[in-house]
Amino acid sequence: MSWQTILAIGSGGFIGAILRAYLNGVISHHFPHQLPYGTLGVNLIGSFVMGVLIALFLHTTIFSIHTKSFLSTGILGALTTYSTFAIESFMLLQGGHLLLALGNIFLNAFGTIAMAGVGFYTIKLFLR
């Protein structure tokens, strides 16, 4: 891996981590609940944007390899929060909130896949 790719991923990760903390806080503030909507929100948003980016990467030639690394591995890698989702789901289970835990797992697992598809096909439609 080149130093340019490492720099692209690292700087994107810096931005993505800040975005994650900010968006998680905003969403959690506006939707206070035992279900961790902040984590769900950043996972859904990140998955949608990943779908958009992958469609653009596959159907256009406007992005360099470094830009692709910056956006996908860097920003989105730090923005989405799988490890946070995992511990939040575990804590819900530990706290006896079985239905909330299952809802959180279902929404994160299937919602993010659905949002990645929505993002991908949205861009595919626009590029026709």
pLDDT in tens, 71-109: 999 999 999 988 889 989 999 999 999 999 999 999 999
Please give the model's pTM, rounded to 2 decimal places: 0.84
**Pair 127, 58: CB distance under 8 Å:** no
CB-CB contact of 93 with 29 (8 Å): no
DSSP designation for 2: -
Q: If pLDDT is split at 50, 70 and 90, which confidence band does 116 have?
A: very high
Distance (Å, whole) CA 107 – CA 120:
19
Q: What is the per-residue pLDDT across 34-78, written as a single tens digit (0 to 9) for each? A: 899 999 999 999 999 999 999 999 999 999 999 999 999 999 999
Which position has the token pair 């900010």? 22
| C-alpha dihedral sign at 31, 75, 55, 51 | negative
What's CA 18's distance to the chain center, in Å? 13
Q: Write out the residue range of the structural domain in which residue 50 sits.
A: 3-126
Within 10 Å of residue 51's Cβ, how many Cβ atoms?
23
